[in-house]
Each structure stands twice: as C-alpha cells, then as structure tokens.
C-alpha cells in the first residue's frame, strides 16, 4: 500500500508539472497570413521554338548561350521538294507573265481589225445591193446573199471583241495567280530559316545538324537574357485569395541562405486539371545577380500583415473557436490571421489570461 501511494503521488506530481509546463499566455506580436507555393524561375518572354516546315537541319547559326536579336537566324532547314516547287513556280510565273503573252493579245487585236474591215466592206456591198433592189435592179436572191454575208461578218466582228476581252482577262488572271504562287513558294522557302522572335539568349538547342524535323518538333528555348519571372503553382483551395501586387517571399535552391521579395503580377484563370493548381506569375523586387531558367524555389504569398496582434499557438485552439483557460473552463474566442504556428485572437482573450494546451 505504501508503494502504491508513492506511485500515485509521483504520478500526480508529474501530471501537475507537465500540465504546468503547458500553460501559456498570449503574446503581442506582428503576424502575417500567407499561402505556400512552389515553382520555377522562367526567363521573361521565354518560349520554345518549333520547326515550321519539314526537312533536314543543314545549318545551325548559333550555340547555346549565344545572345540573339529579333529576326536573327537560328538554323536552316533544307527541303529538295520545296526548292523544286519554288523553281517550278518561277517558271510558271515567267511563262504566264502578262507582258510575255502580249503577242497573243496583238494577234487577237489584229483579228478584230480584220473582222471590222470585212464587216464594213460587206455592209457597203449589202446596202448598195439593197439600193439597187429598191430600183428593181438585180435579184432578190442576190440581195439576201449580200445581207447574209454582212450579218456573218458583223457577228464575227463582235465575237472577236469578246474573245479579245476574254483572252486579256484570262492572261491577267493567270499571270497574277502565278506571281502569287511564286510569292507563296518564296515565303515557304523563307520559313526554312528559323529566326528568333525576341531579343534574348539561346538557352538550349535540342536538335543537331542532319536531324529530320517537322512542324511539331521543338528546336530550341529562347528567352530574355536579363529579366526573369517566377511561375508559382497555387492550390485551387487558395486561388480565390490571390490578387495582383501581393508580396511574395521566396527561397531559391541556388541561394539557400537568402530570402528574396517579389510581387504577384499575373493570375492565369485556367486550372490545371491534372495538378489541381493555378499558375500565378510574380516578378522580383530585386533579383539575384545570377539566374537561370528552371531554377526551383519555395515561396509564401503574403495575404495580410498586422502589427501588435494578440497571438496564441495554433495547437492551443480548439475547433478553431475555443481555448481552455488555466482553470479548465472553455472560452469562446474570435480568430483573425493565421500563420503556420500562431493565430490571432480578435476577441474573448486578453494578454493576461493563461490557457492550456488541449489534450491530444
């Protein structure tokens, strides 16, 4: 019995000491509520260049790390079929050129002049014969013959004018069409030179000389050499809290001992269905001296900050609305900002109150 009493006394003493250690008073400090996000660094205006046509890479003008200007050639793609198509289009354009076919128009114009002369001559003969017939000179059959000849020559004259106009319109259309086809072929040939769309730096080239590429083939990655952006993945549960210009504090894997500040600049409205996250962009307030694309980082997006707030450890909060006072009474409180360790108490608790950690 004496042994049991000793054990009970020790247990009570241990419990009292343990419980005493779990008492805390609220503190008055500053607090910031934030959202965690991870992401990668991207060069500003970074893009992946794709081949626009099919062919074989026969020349590469740059190397990885080279600085390029907008319009600078990156590589050339050769295609024998396209070269032959361009030559064929050039031949066709030359053959159907309007000026080159001027002889056909001249010939048609001569036919008009001849038809007009014949119609005029047949007209004189017809009306002369008609005048004689009115004087009862000659035969009716002869008059009808002269009239028919005049009508035929007049029809031939009008037909020659129509043929001339049709020929002129056809030659003009064919010539213009051939020239357009030549422009298209020349344009397609120019597309065999892949050019930079921005002033920047070539970060990577994924294809080598002699490789076959097509319109779906990624060739290289080009981006700004000086400016970088931060691409953050924000959970769908938190995205409605994010807005532009919020402060972002981040640590880069390449700068482990430093914290950098950034600002939210863009929120993409489409959720990634696979990861259930939204893409949010931010820009450095002051970026590191050296940066490269695809460096990873972890960040906190600060939603709100408050000075002189009454704070308690989050683990002392019961059901997000109550605390246990040192005498064991439960007290309803109103909470405000939260971080990963502490929570703000807006009402129901004073800095002089002692509270207990809830039993686990």
**Do residue 262 and residue 116 come from a single domain?**
no
Residue 212 lies in a domain: yes
Tell me the CATH number at 52.
2.40.50.100
**Do residue 119 and residue 204 come from a single domain?**
no
The candidate with the shortest Cα–Cα distance to 24, out of 343, 346, 307, 319, is 343
**Do residue 215 and residue 230 come from a single domain?**
no
Asked which of 221, 242, 266 is the last residue of a domain, the reply is 221
Question: Which region, left, alpha or beta, applies to residue 276 given φ > 0 means left and ψ of -120 to 50 means alpha?
Answer: left
**Averaged pLDDT, 155-176:** 82
Asked which of 142, 167, 190 is the last residue of a domain, the reply is 190
Residue 115 lies in a domain: yes
**Do residue 264 and residue 118 come from a single domain?**
no
**Do residue 159 and residue 284 come from a single domain?**
no
pTM of this structure: 0.56
**Do residue 201 and residue 75 come from a single domain?**
yes
Q: Domain range spanning residue 178?
A: 82-190
Asked which of 270, 288, 303 is the last residue of a domain, the reply is 303
Q: Give the C-alpha separation, 202 to 293, whole Å.
A: 11
Other beta carbons within 10 angstroms of residue 114's beta carbon come to: 13
pLDDT tier, 97 (very low <50, low <70, confident <90, very high otherwise): low
The candidate with the shortest Cα–Cα distance to 298, out of 344, 248, 264, 347, is 248
**Do residue 139 and residue 199 come from a single domain?**
no
Q: Which two tokens stand for residue 71?
A: 């319009």
Residue 199 lies in a domain: yes
Tens of pLDDT, residues 8-31? 343 444 444 444 447 888 888 888
Residue 313 lies in a domain: no
Tens of pLDDT, residues 243-296? 999 999 999 988 878 999 999 999 999 999 999 999 999 999 988 988 889 999
Residue 346 lies in a domain: no
Cα-Cα-Cα-Cα dihedral sign, residues 239, 242, 248, 268: positive
**Do residue 72 and residue 207 come from a single domain?**
yes
Residue 3 lies in a domain: no
Residue 160: what pLDDT? 86
Helix H or strand E encompassing 229? strand 228-235
**Do residue 202 and residue 255 come from a single domain?**
no
**Averaged pLDDT, 48-69:** 89
Query: Helix 80-95 to helix 140-190 angle, to the nearest 10 degrees?
Result: 150
The secondary structure of 251-316 as a DSSP string is EETTEEEEEEEEEEEEEEEEEETTTTEEEEEEEESS--SS--TT-EEEEEEEEEEEEEEEEEEGGG
Cβ atoms of 310 and 333 within 8 Å: the answer is no
pLDDT tier, 88 (very low <50, low <70, confident <90, very high otherwise): low
**Do residue 184 and residue 155 come from a single domain?**
yes
Domain count along the chain: 3
| Mean pLDDT taken over the chain | 82
Tell me the CATH number at 233.
2.40.30.170
């Amino acid at each position: 019995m004496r042994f049991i009493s000793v054990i009970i006394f020790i247990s009570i003493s241990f419990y009292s000491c343990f419980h005493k250690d779990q008492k805390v008073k609220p503190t008055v400090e500053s607090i910031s509520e934030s959202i965690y996000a991870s992401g990668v660094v991207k060069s500003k205006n970074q893009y992946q260049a794709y081949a626009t046509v099919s062919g074989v890479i026969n020349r590469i003008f740059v190397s990885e790390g080279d600085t390029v200007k907008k319009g600078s050639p990156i590589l050339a793609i050769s295609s024998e079929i396209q070269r032959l198509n361009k030559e064929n289009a050039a031949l066709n354009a030359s053959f159907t050129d309007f000026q080159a076919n001027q002889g056909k128009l001249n010939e048609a114009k001569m036919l008009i002049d001849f038809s007009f002369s014949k119609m005029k001559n047949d007209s004189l003969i017809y009306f002369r014969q008609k005048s004689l017939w009115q004087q009862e000179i000659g035969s009716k059959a002869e008059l009808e013959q002269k009239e028919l000849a005049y009508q035929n020559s007049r029809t031939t004259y009008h037909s020659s004018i129509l043929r001339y106009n049709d020929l002129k319109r056809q030659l003009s259309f064919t010539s213009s069409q051939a020239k357009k086809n030549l422009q298209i072929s020349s344009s397609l040939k120019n597309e065999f030179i892949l050019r930079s769309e921005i002033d920047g730096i070539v970060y990577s080239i994924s294809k080598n000389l002699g490789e076959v590429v097509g319109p779906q083939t990624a060739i290289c990655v080009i981006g700004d050499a000086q400016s970088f952006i931060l691409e953050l993945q924000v959970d769908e549960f938190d995205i409605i809290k994010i807005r532009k210009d919020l402060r972002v504090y981040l640590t880069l894997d390449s700068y482990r001992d430093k914290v950098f500040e950034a600002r939210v600049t863009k929120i993409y409205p489409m959720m990634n269905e696979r990861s259930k996250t939204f893409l949010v962009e931010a820009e450095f307030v002051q970026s590191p001296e050296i940066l490269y694309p695809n460096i990873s980082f972890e960040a906190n997006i600060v939603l709100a900050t408050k000075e002189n707030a009454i704070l308690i450890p989050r683990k002392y909060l019961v059901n997000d609305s109550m605390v246990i006072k040192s005498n064991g009474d439960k007290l309803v409180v109103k909470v405000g900002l939260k971080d990963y360790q502490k929570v703000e108490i807006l009402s129901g608790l004073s800095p002089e109150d002692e509270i207990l950690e809830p039993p686990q």
